[in-house]
Amino acid sequence: MASREEYTTCMTPFMKGSGKTREERQTSMCIGAKLCSGKASNEQEAQKLCAEAALEPKPARVSRGKRGCKIDYAALATCTSKNIDPETITPESFLESLETAFQKCQAIQAAPSYKKFMKECVLVNTVTGTLPESNKLIKQCNTEWKEIKK
């Protein structure tokens, strides 16, 4: 297809899914995509390509984990190297030593963002009071942030 509009027009009948099961809609979309993109010249060829694609293993999904829970790899490497004694490691005990070191260093995480740090700092140190007291608290939290970032 020459343009996006032509492709969309071509795909319209294949995107209609009323009365179809999920698998039928997916198959229809795949067949339409193969035909409209020019990868297949007829519907039988498109069905064959879609069947082959369905058999291929999908790449493993990488979980992004919890937001804000990032590992500080430099700190983890430092901690791990401190907890492994190179003089006592043998090829047989390497994995066990590495696992033990990782367990000891498990709590290491990246420093929080400035915004998250300030929110937590202010919540922990909150004092009900006047605006000057609040400003003093914010300055104190900024000082703590600067110390952490050194």
Q: What digits encode the pLDDT tens for the residues 90-103?
A: 888 888 888 888 77
What is the spatial distance between Cα 12 and Cα 1, in angstroms, rounded to a whole number?
14
Q: pLDDT tens digits for 78-92?
A: 888 888 887 888 888
HSE at residue 144, side-chain half, CA atoms within 13 A, is 17
Write down the residue that tokens 């700092």 correspond to: 121
What is the spatial distance between Cα 144 and Cα 104, in angstroms, rounded to a whole number?
26
Amino acid 45: pLDDT:
92
DSSP letter for 41, please: S
Inter-CA distances, 4 with 36, 44, 46, 54, Å: 10, 24, 20, 25
Whether residue 110 is predicted with pLDDT greater than 60 in this model: the reply is no
Whether residue 130 is predicted with pLDDT greater than 80 in this model: the reply is no
What is the spatial distance between Cα 7 and Cα 18, in angstroms, rounded to a whole number?
21
DSSP letter for 58, please: P
Average pLDDT, rounded, for the chain = 78
Whether residue 67 is predicted with pLDDT greater than 60 in this model: the reply is no
Helices marked H in 16-130 — which ranges? 22-37, 43-55, 73-82, 94-104, 114-124
Write down the residue that tokens 């430099």 correspond to: 74
